[in-house]
Structure 1
Amino acid sequence: MAKQGNNKEETRREMTGLERLGLRVSNMINHPVAQIQRWVTIHRLDSDGDREWEEVIGVLSETDGIDITFNDDESVTLRWEAYAEEDRPVEVSERAEEPVPF
């Protein structure tokens, strides 16, 4: 049998700077601690290009419900309000109580 793993050429697509920055910012916003405190400070890294940084900040500034504070150290602090009770996603448990078979 021939080893297929050695014969195949694996193609990996490299993430763009914009994708990498977007993923980092998304992970920071969605982090459980950030969700509890409803704010997060995002620091610009040396690897974040000007165009990518401006694009992500532009998208965030256009998003309803997010307040942006530009800090002196080139970081930004995002703040948002908690959902109103009627707007909060509802968690539904689909486990039905089944009678014990014995």
Structure 2
Amino acid sequence: MDENKLEGAAGQGMSGMEKLGLRVSSMINHPVAQIQRWVTIHRLDTDGEREWKEVIGLLSETDGIDMAYNEDGSVTLRWEACAEEDRPVEVIERVEEVAPF
């Protein structure tokens, strides 16, 4: 089957804004981005200008995200770890109890 037909069928019900939002969300939530706490987002040729500006506007209003506009038109997002992520991991050891019988 033609890849373009498959791609078109999968994304038929999604608006440009939904596709862009999903792509950006996936980039932010990627395990590597979560470890390094930054990601660079590039505008694709398929991203409409209105959608791009709206997503960037929403990100700029989000607390805890620092944005840097790069010369190539991309945007680098940086964020701090949440308090929950800073907590040391607690390891609870199980104590084996002797059976009473």
TM-score (norm 2): 0.71
Structure 2: distance between partners of 1:67 and 1:35: 15
Partner of 1:41: 40
Partner of 1:7: none
What are the within-5 Å matches in structure 2 for residues 43-58 of structure 1?
43-58=42-57
The answer to which structure has the higher helix fraction is 2
Partner of 2:93: none
Q: Which runs of 4+ in 1 moved over 2 A?
A: 84-88
Q: 1:51 to 1:86 in 2, by over 3 A?
A: closer
SS of the equivalent of 1:52 reads helix
Structure 2: where are the runs of 5+ without partners?
1-10, 90-101
State how many pairs are aligned: 78
Q: Does 2:56 match 1:61?
A: no
Structure 1: where are the runs of 5+ without partners?
1-11, 91-102
Structure 2: distance between partners of 1:86 and 1:46: 36
Q: 1:46 to 1:81 in 2, by over 3 A?
A: same
Identity of aligned residues (%): 78
